[in-house]
Amino acid sequence: MLGPVILAASRSDRMRRLITAAPGTKRVVDRFIPGERVDDVVPVIEDLTGRGLALTMDVVGEDITTREQAAAARDAYLELIDRLKPLELGERAEVSVKLSMFGQALEGGHELALANVRPVVEAAAAIGTTVTLDAEDHTTLDSMFAIHEELRRDVPQTGCVIQAYLFRTEADARRLAADGSRVRLVKGAYKEPAEVAYQQKHEIDKAYVRVLRILMAGEGYPMIGSHDPRLISIAQELARHAGRKLDEYEFQMLYGIRSEEHLRLAAEGHRMRVYTAYGTDWYGYFMRRLAEKPANLRFFVRSMVTK
Ligand code: FAD
């Protein structure tokens, strides 16, 4: 029951001020976000890829309020891609973006986000890698899918995310699977109303499997974004059933969560991509990680009262 409360707090400026200033917060944040600057994460990229893992890099930030912030977000991604270039990792270091950080919610935001994300997608393609558009709350998704379609005209490998908890997702999955898109399937991390989304874990898990079946049977490239051991073995089974080879789908997990499982799946020959976020505006990302697992909140509260 704590999850929805934490998710509501993730959108509160007052809570943001309190939590970012609290002693002990940083220690817990570090578990999920390995640095604030691109210089901090280059060694992390080298370490993880050296251990046979792939990455998708996220510069944290969302819900910006000015066009200047949107342009700064674009520039932060261009800087990241610039730093990835000499590492010559190609698709092993991919990029994930949130369109709200590129100005999607501002006036004229759809066009603005498209204009800001396009150079990032082109720069990524120029160094042999791809961009995936993260899925945010349900009100942003029509715009996100339209931008995804537009970007794919020139850079077809551009990916997007769909969320199993939304009723609309089976239809989105059918369209994207028929189009041959790269698609990351996740359960969904935002607080969504009962009119648009399943609320119970067992309903979300069942929806996840239904959508996964569609993706595995389709023409695209499924990216299984989950730490759930049951869903991971179902995904392996569905991939076998669909006759997919190990390089025709991949698993994705978040940095700092079930890290031993990342290595286990990679050692089995699977493509395993670690979503690695960095940057200073970590509040929203961090709060969603707390909401996903009550034990994280207990650990966080303990770290605030101990030195
Ligand atoms: P759960 O049932 O939540 O977790 C299964 C097990 O994994 C838990 O029992 C626990 O052991 C472990 N676990 C899960 N979360 C945590 C945590 N925070 N801390 C510690 N242990 C944990 N959501 C979006 O809405 N949009 C996106 O674009 C998006 N991108 C994502 C990208 C990747 C690569 C991943 C892995 C997730 C992404 N998510 C995104 C988040 C996703 O929607 C879920 O909230 C999150 O993955 C938790 O769901 P789960 O499938 O891991 O299953």
- Percentage of the chain beyond pLDDT 70 is 98
Residue 258 CB–ligand 1 contact under 6 Å: yes
Crossing angle of helices 25-32 and 13-21, in 10° steps, is 100
In this structure, what token pair is assigned to residue 84? 């990835």
Statement: residue 48 has pLDDT above 60: yes
In this structure, what token pair is assigned to residue 171? 């239809």
Q: Supply the pLDDT for residue 306.
A: 64
Mean pLDDT of 61-82: 95
Buried b (16+ CB within 10 A) or exposed e, 73-98: bbebbeebbebbeeeebebbbbbbbb
Statement: residue 12 has pLDDT above 90: no
Domain regions of the chain by residue span:
34-281
CA of 252 to the centre of ligand 1 (A): 10
Statement: residue 103 has pLDDT above 80: yes
Residue 190 CB–ligand 1 contact under 6 Å: yes
CA of 96 to the centre of ligand 1 (A): 15
Q: What is the pLDDT of residues 199-232, one digit of tens each?
A: 999 999 999 999 999 999 999 999 999 999 999 9
With the most atoms of ligand 1 within 8 angstroms of its CB, the residue from 227, 257, 259 to mutate is 227
Per the prediction, the chain carries an average pLDDT of 94
Mean pLDDT of 233-259: 97
Q: Supply the pLDDT for residue 192.
A: 96
**Domain covering 34-281, topology:** TIM Barrel (3.20.20)
With the most atoms of ligand 1 within 8 angstroms of its CB, the residue from 130, 182, 187 to mutate is 187
The model's confidence at residue 295, banded by pLDDT at 50, 70 and 90, is confident
User: Is 0.80 topped by the overall pTM?
Assistant: yes
Alpha helices for 218-293 (secondary structure H):
229-241, 259-267, 283-292
Cα separation, 5 vs 284, in Å, equals 13
